[in-house]
Amino acid sequence: MMESGAHFCNSCGEQVGHDANGEVFVACHECYFPICKACFEYEVNEGRKICLRCATPYADRAKDDDQTTTAAQINVSQDVGLHARHVSTVSTVDSELNDESGNPIWKNRVESWKEKDKKNKKKKSAPKAENEAPIPQEQQMEEIQSSEAAAAEPLSTIIPIPKTRITPYRIVIVVRLIILGLFFHYRVTNPVDSAFGLWLTSIICEIWFAFSWVLDQFPKWYPINRDTFIDRLSARYERPGEPSQLSAVDFFVSTVDPLKEPPLITANTVLSILAVDYPVDKVSCYVSDDGAAMLTFESLVETADFARKWIPFCKKFSIEPRAPEFYFSQKIDYLKDKVQPSFVKERRAMKRDYEEFKVRINALVAKAQKTPDEGWTMQDGTSWPGNNSRDHPGMIQVFLGHSGAHDIEGNELPRLVYVSREKRPGYQHHKKAGAENALVRVSAVLTNAPFILNLDCDHYVNNSKAVREAMCFLMDPVMGRELCYVQFPQRFDGIDRSDRYANRNTVFFDVNMKGLDGIQGPVYVGTGCVFNRQALYGYSPPSMPKLPKSSSCCCCPSKKQTKDVSELYRDAKREELDAAIFNLREMDNYDEYERSMLISQTSFEKTFGLSTVFIESTLMESGGLPESSDPSMLIKEAIHVISCGYEEKTAWGKEIGWIYGSVTEDILTGFKMQCRGWRSVYCMPLRPAFKGSAPINLSDRLHQVLRWALGSVEIFFSRHCPLWYGFAGGRLKWLQRLAYINTIVYPFTSLPLIAYCTLPAICLLTGKFIIPTLSNLASALFLGLFLSIIITSVLELRWSGVTIEALWRNEQFWVIGGVSAHLFAVFQGFLKMLAGVDTNFTVTAKAAEDSEFGELYMIKWTTLLIPPTTLIVINIVGVVAGFSDALNGGYESWGPLFGKVFFAFWVIFHLYPFLKGLMGRQNRTPTIVILWSVLLASVFSLVWVKINPFISRADSSSLSQTCISIDC
């Protein structure tokens, strides 16, 4: 090119051209940076009056016309990338100006932003500044470098817990562990012979409680807080007048039954997603209708139409939250920070439009209450394909998007896609996990965003900048490569102020998750999570540690080696797949035949299924659709990847996507990712990112806890149990493994908890006690144990910011759920493992009543209510019996009574919210619950009196002889 005399623009790639004198056009006479006249005029019009390379101010063009430049002078710059025809393939010199994330000509963008900002300030302060002397080059370079350094700063930072708070906390934990050891030594070496059975039972229960405490406590050893810098994210990836370089995000919303998950709630979730503060061309919302309900489809049609008005209103006035139902129901001054005169008028009009929208949705719901005998019919007269929810074809409908309808102001809208996967009899569909995997494939074919955010249908976007918060981690050039997901805490609306049933789970989200964030990251909790799509595909992180040559240890080589053979095999196959993917990416010019041969050779079909379009999308780390894709065939391909037989003989649900095998697929999915070496991050913005609806009545809350507990039991009995899975390679840290073990063994605490809650009543009814006469040492141990428990809780509250009330509610519901839902989950888990009996769960109804907290006082019959009620009745009977014996026994009986009554009241106080919820607002407790509880308590008391095992044989024989000698 140098020999031919042709010079190419380093911006657009076209020939530089000539000026009016016929000479080669030159913009900068200092470095002769090659740029054509059209690009030069564009730079000047945009306010960029400095050279893109050397930052020298452009000279006056009137003077330039008199200057001439020879071709030899231009040839000096031929080695700086004149062949560049795309911004992403810049020259060697320009690459030195790139930012650390690899974005092209980063310094040039900083210069343009700085120069434009400087130009605006000059217009305001000094209109005649253009006639003044230009700013010295040295000063400009200093300002440019300072701006570049500011924009290149980290997008997030770790805020460690102050040592004054965390150090005493750790010291108390160690001290408590030592006291526990001394306490158990005393308990084991001082048996109670008069009540040996009770003593042994209590020892076993206490040992299990201590083990559970260790599993729960030590993963909180390194708690941290994080802070994000959204302004730096915008400064790095968004420039005025330039396309946004923020990564695209695909939103997943899952729904099943529109009669239990009201369409109005789902519509609000969708509207809040479509109105999120993010570039519209980077947002796509996929709604999975796993029930194939025509009501969901029609409500989504209405939602798409209303979104054309709602989205511009939100963005114009910066509305928060952007779910209309929750925005209009706010009891705050909606005029705060709103200075536009038209705001009040437009708000009233929008509220009126929303009320009409609600009327239309409610009319659809009322119509859907009774299904016609011939099934539903669409507006064109054809039958609805999903009339049989268990036997229907796959359905996809794109409502909005780049080629769809625009908003009322003519602006582009995010894409909204309705998806209902195919279902046929005889196929296993895997419930929610299967629906999520179908959305992964559909989105990969249609949009293929590099990141995925999944939400439950009742969790709306409460913070419009939530996606930007997540991108501060995922788009970080250093941290983002190792992250599989960013988890947000769950926050809820519509809960009573006292949070009677601990729906907020504050202790878990504000204490446990912060602790895990300091190790390898929080666990995945099912909603409000932004995924790295590559991690969902089963790939390992770029810096995955290499597997050791021998997985055996020095202590037991043969046993360890045989144990990890299957794991090593899977890791080896995964490494082969990663290597094949790398080789495929390195091939610049390969035709369809070579691609198909390589795909077949590396067994991609066996992993991802028989879709070449989808497989090709998995190779694109930065997302986007392949250039070879045919837009007219994408919908057909998307229908193919959601067919009911697509996952057969593939790795879906086993190694990639949402993992099958448990009703709590969230825990299992996150666990598999972190076993591969991925990290996760916990993001807690000041304004909660997402908010949802919680089942606040007692029955629904217990059923929700039952479902979670059963999922943990299923994982415990599966091959993915953290007790033995994923040891090869050491990619899961030990404290992280303890946390996962805790998530699967906590339901089994219900067995010792039931026994321990029954012991106080037994002691009161029999006059026996599980603790012998206390010595000075024993008293000190008991006092030290109680003090360490209290101090640990106080210090935990201090560094986490959780209130005492939240901690107490969590403690109460731990007992309530443990003696009811967790107990049933354990038995159902054993039934499923031994007899193959599977339990089907219905979706928890989460729609509130007309009155505030209307569901709080609703009581629905369920067998889960019987065990806690029985415990309350037994302990109340025991307290009455204990006081009666003390009154009859005299002064000496009151001392031992204190210890027995203390534990009985401990049980009653913990079950008090359950008792209050059981009674309801007007004492409308189901009669069947009272009858069963009283019956069980009476039978237990009578049987205990009849076969009292704590009376010795000698005492029983003498007692029988005494009874015989009595003349009745």
Please give the biggest Cα pair distance in the chain: 139
Which of residues 835 and 52 earns the better pLDDT score?
A: 835
Cβ burial of 564 (10 Å; 0-12, 13-18, 19+) is buried
Q: How many residues does the chain have?
A: 968
**Above 70 in pLDDT, residue 291?**
yes
Radius of gyration of the chain (CA): 34
Q: Residue 587 — very low, low, confident or very high, per pLDDT cuts 50/70/90?
A: very low
Nearest to 429 by CA among 256, 635, 655: 256
pLDDT of residue 864: 80
pLDDT of residue 964: 47
Nearest to 201 by CA among 755, 884, 609: 755
Q: Please write the tens of the pLDDT for every residue from 235-268.
A: 888 888 788 889 999 999 999 888 888 899 999 9
Contact between residue 867 and residue 754 where contact means Cβ atoms under 8 Å apart = yes
**Above 70 in pLDDT, residue 580?**
no
Tell me how many degrees the CA angle 806-911-497 measures, rounded to the nearest 5: 35
Directed axis angle between helix 750-766 and helix 894-910, to 10°? 150
- Which residues are documented as binding site for Mn(2+)? 432, 456
pLDDT of residue 139: 57
Instruction: Report the distance separating Cα 307 and Cα 922, nearest Å.
Output: 43
β-pair type (529-532, 451-456): antiparallel
Q: Residue 94 — very low, low, confident or very high, per pLDDT cuts 50/70/90?
A: very low
Which of residues 752 and 848 earns the better pLDDT score?
A: 752
pLDDT of residue 403: 64
**Above 60 in pLDDT, residue 568?**
no
> What's the mean pLDDT when you consider all of the chain?
76
Catalytic-labelled residue, pool 64, 289, 571, 666: 666
Contact between residue 823 and residue 867 where contact means Cβ atoms under 8 Å apart = yes
Q: Is 281 a catalytic residue?
A: no
pLDDT of residue 191: 86
Model pTM? 0.74
pLDDT of residue 108: 46
Highest mean pLDDT among 41-55, 326-340, 349-363: 349-363
Q: Residue 420 — very low, low, confident or very high, per pLDDT cuts 50/70/90?
A: very high
pLDDT of residue 609: 82
Contact between residue 154 and residue 235 where contact means Cβ atoms under 8 Å apart = no
| pLDDT more than 90, % of the chain | 25
Q: Residue 75 — very low, low, confident or very high, per pLDDT cuts 50/70/90?
A: very low
- How far is C-alpha 714 from the chain's CA centre? 21
Domains and CATH numbers, the chain: 1-59 (3.30.40.10), 163-220+727-947 (no CATH), 231-542+653-694 (3.90.550.10)
Find tokens 């409500």 and name the residue.
Answer: 299
Torsion of CA 575, 578, 580, 583, to 10 degrees: -130
Q: Please write the tens of the pLDDT for every residue from 433-451.
A: 999 999 999 999 999 899 9
pLDDT of residue 385: 87
**Above 80 in pLDDT, residue 507?**
yes
Q: Residue 598 — very low, low, confident or very high, per pLDDT cuts 50/70/90?
A: low
For residue 187, the SS3 value is helix
pLDDT of residue 88: 27
pLDDT of residue 265: 93
Contact between residue 448 and residue 625 where contact means Cβ atoms under 8 Å apart = yes
Which of residues 551 and 265 earns the better pLDDT score?
A: 265
- What mean pLDDT is predicted for residues 694-716? 84
Q: Please write the tens of the pLDDT for every residue from 913-958.
A: 777 766 655 445 555 566 666 666 666 666 555 555 444 444 445 4
- What mean pLDDT is predicted for residues 139-160? 66
- Which residues are documented as binding site? 254, 260-261, 290, 431-432, 456
Tell me how many degrees the CA angle 23-28-30 measures, rounded to the nearest 5: 110
**Above 80 in pLDDT, residue 588?**
no
Which of residues 931 and 117 earns the better pLDDT score?
A: 931
| pLDDT more than 70, % of the chain | 70
**Above 70 in pLDDT, residue 97?**
no
Least confident of 187-201, 477-491, 512-526: 187-201
- What mean pLDDT is predicted for residues 771-785? 80
Q: Is 231 a catalytic residue?
A: no
Q: Please write the tens of the pLDDT for every residue from 378-405.
A: 877 788 888 888 888 889 988 887 666 7
- What mean pLDDT is predicted for residues 140-151? 53
**Distance between start and end Cα atoms, the chain:** 126
Least confident of 296-305, 638-647, 654-663, 906-915: 906-915
**Above 70 in pLDDT, residue 183?**
yes
**Above 60 in pLDDT, residue 811?**
yes
pLDDT of residue 836: 66
- What mean pLDDT is predicted for residues 221-243? 88
- What mean pLDDT is predicted for residues 18-40? 74
Q: Looking at the DSSP assignment, which residues form a beta bridge with residue 485?
A: 531, 680
Catalytic-labelled residue, pool 64, 99, 289, 290: 290
Nearest to 273 by CA among 94, 399, 457: 457
- Which residues are documented as binding site for UDP-alpha-D-glucose? 254, 260-261, 290, 431
β-pair type (483-487, 529-532): antiparallel
Q: Which residues contact 83 (CB under 8 A, 6 or more apart)?
A: 1, 8, 13
